[in-house]
């Protein structure tokens, strides 16, 4: 049971971070379907930081540098979405889809190039970070507490405060609801949308490094992040674009994802004799069912997905 709670919390942390990133972007008026690719690039930045950090580095230094590299990588990759969709008014759905395809491919090529440069016989797309990963984990009895869980809670609180208690957050949401009205009172819609997309990149990148360090000490970048970016979008929609509801939805989806890791520890589940692939599919099946019954009542920001035209009223 402790193992189930452990995996539920870490997967819920991933979904909360990435879904909150999507929430900021969509509240500004930009649909970020590229969260999957952003997660991959964020995980690449964090994994490379762990790979090249000197052995014996202080735990706090490792945590700060890895988080910084993951956040920066995700933010830099999200620039593609910002430039294409805000400045050039490209179709946000197509750009996000392209970013997802490019993210995994680019990460694979980069890692293979690095590995080949270090060892010509090593053509794998795998990065190992077994030693650096220990800095993020504190063992309490048989329970592994991960500092990323604390970060997710801190980000959740900050997201709620920023969106609902600050001038920046209220202006951001105004740009996603009625950008022309926001512009008429002096709010720079382009700058607010840029801010929303960059914040989504930062949180998506952080979610990526949390995901790949959840249970393993190396990652093969050809596998991407197993659709967690899309799952985070489902969490965001189910949570109605509101931070607290997003966190609760993330716990629900995280529980079903955790079952695929620990179902063998429950006699009533192993007695069903279901293949492991069924448990791996559970969170995605649940997301389809949940969205089928709740999407009709979802209220997305009114101007999301619509390129802003300053001359339109």
Q: What is the pLDDT of residue 297?
A: 77
Per-residue pLDDT, 157: 98
Q: Is residue 78 one of the residues assigned to a domain?
A: yes
Asked whether the beta carbons of 200 and 232 are under 8 A apart, the reply is: no
Residue 312 belongs to some domain of the structure: no
Q: What DSSP assignment string belongs to 231-247?
A: HHHHHHHHTTT-HHHHH
The C-alpha atoms of residue 34 and residue 296 are separated, in whole angstroms, by 23
Q: Where are the alpha helices (DSSP H) in the chain?
A: 2-28, 35-52, 59-82, 92-118, 130-133, 147-165, 167-177, 179-184, 189-212, 228-238, 243-262, 267-270, 276-294
Q: Identify the CATH number of the domain in which residue 74 sits.
A: 1.10.3470
Question: Where does the pLDDT of residue 211 fall: very low under 50, low under 70, confident under 90, or very high at 90 and above?
Answer: very high
Three-state SS at 109 = helix
Residue 307 belongs to a domain: no
Query: What is the residue range of 244's domain?
Result: 2-297
Mean pLDDT of the chain: 92
* Residue 298 vs residue 164, higher pLDDT: 164
Q: How many domains, in total, are found in the chain?
A: 1
Residue 199 scores a pLDDT above 70:
yes
In a domain, 310, yes or no: no
Q: Does 92 reside within a domain?
A: yes
Q: Tell me, yes or no, whether 308 lies in a domain.
A: no
Q: Would 148 be classed as within a structural domain?
A: yes
Q: Which residue has the higher pLDDT, 250 or 138?
A: 250
Average pLDDT over residues 35-43: 97
Q: Is residue 311 part of a domain?
A: no
d(CA 203, CA 42): 9
Could you tell me the CA-to-CA distances from 85 to 95, 170, 302, 313 in Å, in that order?
8, 22, 17, 20
Query: pLDDT tens digit string along 142-164?
Result: 888 899 999 999 999 999 999 99
Q: Is the pTM of this model over 0.85?
A: yes
């Amino acid at each position: 049971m402790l193992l189930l709670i452990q995996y539920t919390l870490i997967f819920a942390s991933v979904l909360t971070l990435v879904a909150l990133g999507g929430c900021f972007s969509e509240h500004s008026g930009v649909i970020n379907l590229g969260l999957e690719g952003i997660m991959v690039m964020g995980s690449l930045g964090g994994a490379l930081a762990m790979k090249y950090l000197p052995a014996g580095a202080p735990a706090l230094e490792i945590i700060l540098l890895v988080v910084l590299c993951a956040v920066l990588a995700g933010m830099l990759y999200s620039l593609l979405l910002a430039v294409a969709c805000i400045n050039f008014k490209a179709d946000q759905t197509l750009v996000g889809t392209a970013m997802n395809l490019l993210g995994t491919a680019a990460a694979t090529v980069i890692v293979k190039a690095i590995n080949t440069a270090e060892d010509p016989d090593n053509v794998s797309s795998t990065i190992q970070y077994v030693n650096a990963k220990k800095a993020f984990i504190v063992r309490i009895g048989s329970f592994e507490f991960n500092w990323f869980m604390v970060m997710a809670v801190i980000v959740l609180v900050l997201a709620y405060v920023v969106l609902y208690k600050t001038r920046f957050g209220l202006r951001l949401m105004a740009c996603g609801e009625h950008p022309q009205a926001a512009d008429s009172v002096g709010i720079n819609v382009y700058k607010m949308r840029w801010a929303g997309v960059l914040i989504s990149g930062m949180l998506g990148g952080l979610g990526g490094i949390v995901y790949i360090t959840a249970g393993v000490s190396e990652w093969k970048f050809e596998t991407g992040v197993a659709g967690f970016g899309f799952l985070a979008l489902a969490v965001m929609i189910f949570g109605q674009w509101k931070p607290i509801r997003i966190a609760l939805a993330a716990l629900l989806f995280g529980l079903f994802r955790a079952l695929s890791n620990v179902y063998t520890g429950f006699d009533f589940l192993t007695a069903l004799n279901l293949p492991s692939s069924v448990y791996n599919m559970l969170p995605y099946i649940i997301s389809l069912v949940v969205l089928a019954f709740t999407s009709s009542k979802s209220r997305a920001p009114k101007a999301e997905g619509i390129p802003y035209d300053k001359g339109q009223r």
